[in-house]
Amino acid sequence: MSTKHIKRIGLAAAGLTATGIMIFGAASLASAETASPTPGASTSAGAGSDHGAKGGSNDTAVTGDELAKVTAAMKAKDSTVTVTGVRKDPDGSYDVLGTKDGANVMYDVSADLKTFTLNAGHGGGGKGHGGGGSNDTAVTGDELAKVTAAMKAKDSTVTVTGVRKDPDGSYDVLGTKDGANVMYDVSADLTTFTLNAGHGGGK
């Protein structure tokens, strides 16, 4: 075998070794990036909870036959409730929004449409806002007009369907946007608006 031929084989082997090192290094880097989450990244657990973390919402709008079925079940449970919208949670249960006796209400409804729990944050007992009876009150008259105007100034695409006032002076503004039900937590001075994660999307 000539010296020139041996030299070519040596160069080829060196090239393969270098390639192997590069591939191993890239694989190791990818593995390290997979194992180590980005600093500051947060999980989405609880993002869809009522008055919980202000992340993205995992619930979806209910339409068509499913909406009709849930609405009928709600009416059968309480004929005085006017359903204004329904959201479906990842576990298959529903959030039924509506009005009753002039006040906004929301029911947590089981996936089999057999269990109806009035959400305390929307006009009555049940879970939410710490359980027990709700301390928020319906907003009417000039105050309602003022809060509605502030909401429209913040986002003109929101149609306000009702406003509740919490004991600390802040407001829960319920409405619709792009065909979906939304709820904003609004500060008492009407300067801070936070989209509630459990009612139609993140911030």
Q: Is residue 79 part of a domain?
A: yes
| Residue 189 backbone phi and psi in degrees, to 5 | -90, 5
Contacts of 164 (CB under 8 A, 6+ apart): 103, 104, 121, 122, 123, 136, 137, 138, 139, 171, 172, 174
Q: Is residue 3 part of a domain?
A: no
> What is the tens place of the pLDDT at every residue in 37-53?
444 443 333 333 344 43
Please give the tally of structural domains in the chain. Answer: 1
> What is the tens place of the pLDDT at every residue in 100-128?
888 888 899 999 999 999 886 554 333 33
Q: Is residue 6 part of a domain?
A: no
Nearest CA-CA partner of 144 in 121, 163, 169, 116 = 163
- Element (H or E) spanning 69, and its range? helix 64-77
Range(s) of the domain holding residue 156: 60-199
Q: Is residue 7 part of a domain?
A: no
pLDDT over 70 (residue 81) = yes
> What is the tens place of the pLDDT at every residue in 119-159?
865 543 333 333 334 567 888 889 999 999 999 999 999 99
* 8 or 188, higher pLDDT: 188
Q: Is residue 177 part of a domain?
A: yes
The predicted model gives 156-184 an average pLDDT of 87
Q: Is residue 112 part of a domain?
A: yes
Q: Is residue 153 part of a domain?
A: yes
The two structure tokens encoding residue 150: 């502030």
pTM: 0.40
> What is the tens place of the pLDDT at every residue in 82-107?
998 899 999 999 999 888 888 888 89
Q: Is residue 96 part of a domain?
A: yes
* Token pair 């319920």 in the structure block, residue: 174
